[in-house]
Amino acid sequence: MTSELTTLHSPPTALFVLGHAGTGKTTLTNSFVQHQRQIGRAWCVLDKDAVSECWSGPLLQALGFDPYDRDSPGFKKHVRDLGYESTLRIARDQLELGMDVVLPGPWNRELASGALFSASALGLPAHTVLRHVWLDLPLPVRYERIVQRADPRDQWKLENWKAYAEALRQPEAVLDGRVTALDASLSLDTLRGTLEELLIPSPA
């Protein structure tokens, strides 16, 4: 009972499940949240694509772009940041209510700028506990996964695969150890266990 009460009254956590397209961010997130619910901890899942999909397509179309585009320079210039800002705005409300939030997505710009390590830079409550994990897979495996999921929003990636793949980089925060990197080919049980270990508070 004491541990349960401690969990209930602990500062809320924002868990970022990061990685390039096709690494299994959504699959791991869903498995993690379902298991957490079984042991009595509820999480709010805020997938940037789900948060913005109702308006991002119409906005792209109104701007003269492909409504399914999620990767072109036009998308990144005019629409990309709005989706992430919307996601963080909803996350802020949930965290202020004491809810834990998990945010699967690349978050590349926020990771590169260092904003992903600062609650205030993200516009989140100051007492929010931030946790991060990066999923990695060989490029050919990611390509096959993207093809198999047949999402129209991946069309630009597939049509411009060489340029897309050449632009991908391992984030500096992963290389220097600030973000835990995981081999996404491991079993879901193993990956989920690592996420749960990340949530254990550091010794005072």
- Give the tens place of pLDDT for each residue, 59-68: 999 999 988 8
Q: Share the mean pLDDT of the chain.
A: 91
What are the tens digits of pLDDT across the range 134-179? 999 999 999 999 999 999 889 889 999 999 999 888 899 999 999 9
Residue 44 domain flag: yes
Helix (H, G, I), strand (E, B) or coil at 174: helix
Residue 6 domain flag: no
Residue 9 domain flag: no
Query: What's the pLDDT score for residue 186?
Result: 95
Q: Could you list the residue range(s) of the whole structural domain that residue 182 is in? A: 14-53+83-195
Between CA 74 and CA 38 the distance in angstroms is 42
Judged against a pLDDT cut of 80, whether residue 42 lies above it is answered with: yes
Tell me the mean pLDDT in the region 10-30. 95
Task: Put the strands of the sheet holding 43-45 in their side by side order.
Answer: 43-45, 100-104, 13-19, 129-136, 180-183
Residue 67 domain flag: no
Determine phi and psi for 181, rounding to 5 degrees.
-95, 135
Residue 190 domain flag: yes
Query: What's the pLDDT score for residue 203?
Result: 61
pTM of the model: 0.90
CATH number of the domain enclosing 171: 3.40.50.300
What are the tens digits of pLDDT across the range 83-118? 999 999 999 999 999 999 999 999 999 999 999 999
Residue 107 domain flag: yes
Judged against a pLDDT cut of 50, whether residue 3 lies above it is answered with: no
Query: What's the pLDDT score for residue 5?
Result: 36
Q: How many domains does the chain have?
A: 1
Query: What's the pLDDT score for residue 137?
Result: 94
Residue 112 domain flag: yes
Rg (CA), the chain: 17
- Residue 15: strand pairing partners: 102, 131
Residue 63 domain flag: no
Task: Give me the half-sphere count of Cα atoms (radius 13 Å) on the Cβ side of residue 168.
Answer: 19
* DSSP structural state of residue 24: -
